[in-house]
Amino acid sequence: MDPINLLRDLVARARTAGADAADAVLVAGTSISVQRRMGRTEHVERSEGRDLGLRVFLGQRAAIVSSSRVEPSGFDTLVERAIAMARVVPEDPYASLAETAAPPEALDLDLEDPAEPTTDALLHRAAMAEEAAISVPGITNSEGAEAGYGRAEMVLVTSAGFAGRHVGTSNSVSATALAGTGTDMQRDYDYHVTVHHEDLDDPATIGRSAGERAIARLNPIRPKTAKVPVIYDSRVAGGLLGHLAGAINGSSVARGTTFLKDKLKARVFRAGIYVRDDARRRRGLRSRVFDAEGVPTAPRALIEDGILTTWLLDSSSARQLGMTSTGHAVRGTGRPPSPAPSNLYMEAGERTPAELMADIKEGLYVTELIGMGVNGVTGDYSRGAVGFVIRDGAIAEPVAEITIAGNLIDMFSHLTPANDLRFRRGTDAPTIRIDGMTLAGR
């Protein structure tokens, strides 16, 4: 049966059984991954699966059941269980379907690569990446290279009349190389993920980058504790946007558990800083025409000229805050919707990374972050870091075993982006400079 008609049947049965409202989601996926290490195939895996989720509402009570059995013969049992659960759960004054029944727009974002690669093709990509990594002079070992492909389909039907289907694919390649010997070994990596294979970086380029990064980290020092300017490499700068997204998540705002809870329409960044979320970017890794509640998506400026303009909202958090959903709901088959960003990015600045560090006498260039020492309530920030000393405006010797610390409110207000934005990870930022951070070393 067509998946939309299948879910329509399930939702209709829920209504007939007494549910005031209901929605159903079907998630189907295929993934293939391979791994090569030191010239040998170590891992080949293919998985396929389909999962079904049903959410029912009895007044202000809601319950969800899920099943990996996607057959109409089991629908009545699924409905019976969901309604029985809904009768005994506490009331939630904000629980209901999204206030939309419009059909999804017929907008082609080109999110499906029609060609599924063979296992041999993936093994070839992984082999190219690893061979390029270990060919870099000084590389002594490899943690391997991986290549993968995935296809995910999500179908949503609600009793309010919405019915939509979303399909997306991904192609990936990664490599991790080791340099040095014994206790002096260093490792580093590189990777790339795209919707279409034709947009994927050459695997040899990925492997060579991983090898060169590992070599550059050999013989690190541990600098003295100081307050210094810190440059975040673009590979790790997106993590700062992840902290911003968490702080403006509507669920956290409604609970009052975010350091930005009182900052809506206030200045959070310097003038000239823009952070955008674009769920409709063509071939975007997280692009979608509608969210997990059937609400239409739209490109949004979250930070506009340094000002926080909106929260990330699903229907429930929007009701709690007296606002309207921003189309950011995501969900699985066994849990209710919650807000999350799509293609999140910070706009590029005007200066090159070299120009950003040109006036730094002593500073730090961060290429990798370790640990999750961020307090979402206070904004206090402390992360282990790896990178390089910046001396007299240029990158110098590598550093390790250090921590960088600050507070995200201060960090955001002292942040300057470079001009090297590239869309590679779903959450993307250019190289970023933040002045006045604490480097804890020796």
For the stretch 355-406, pLDDT in tens is 999 999 999 999 999 988 899 999 999 999 999 999 999 999 999 999 999 9
Contact assessment for residue 147 and residue 192, using Cβ atoms and an 8 Å cutoff: no
Q: What is the pLDDT of residue 315?
A: 96
Cβ-contact 117, 173 below 8 angstroms: no
Q: What percent of the chain has pLDDT over 70?
A: 100
CA–CA dist 398, 226 (Å, integer): 17
Backbone φ and ψ of 73, nearest 5°: -65, -20
Q: Do residues 366 and 232 lie in contact, with contact meaning Cβ atoms separated by under 8 Å? A: yes
Predicted TM-score of the model (pTM):
0.94
Residue 231 CA to residue 292 CA, distance in Å, equals 37
Q: How far apart are CA 365 and CA 390, in angstroms?
A: 6
Per-residue confidence band for 100, with pLDDT thresholds at 50, 70 and 90:
confident
Helix (H) or strand (E) holding 129: helix 119-134
**pLDDT above 80: residue 180:** yes
- pLDDT at position 204, please? 98
Model pLDDT, residue 442? 81
Encode pLDDT of 129-151 as tens digits. 999 999 999 999 999 999 999 99
What is the chain's mean pLDDT, rounded?
96
Give the model's pLDDT for residue 235. 95
Residue 198 makes CB contacts below 8 A (sequence gap 6+) with none
Average pLDDT rounded to a whole number, residues 71-79: 95
Indicate the pLDDT class of residue 106, thresholds 50, 70 and 90: confident
How do residues 410-430 score in pLDDT, each as one tens digit?
Answer: 999 999 999 999 999 999 999
> How confident is residue 48, by pLDDT bands cut at 50, 70 and 90?
very high
Lowest mean pLDDT of 104-108, 246-250, 299-303, name the range: 104-108
Distance CA 320, CA 317 (A): 5
Strand order across the 61-67 sheet = 61-67, 40-58, 21-37, 139-158, 163-179, 186-194
pLDDT for the residue numbered 126 = 98
- Radius of gyration for the chain, computed over Cα atoms and rounded to the nearest angstrom: 24
Residue reference for tokens 């290279």: 145
pLDDT of residue 117: 97
Q: What is the pLDDT confidence band of residue 99, given thresholds at 50, 70 and 90?
A: confident
**Residue range 16-45: average pLDDT?**
96
Give how far Cα 435 sits from Cα of 384, 407, 430, 442, Å: 18, 12, 16, 20
Residue pair 43/35 in contact by the 8 Å Cβ criterion: yes
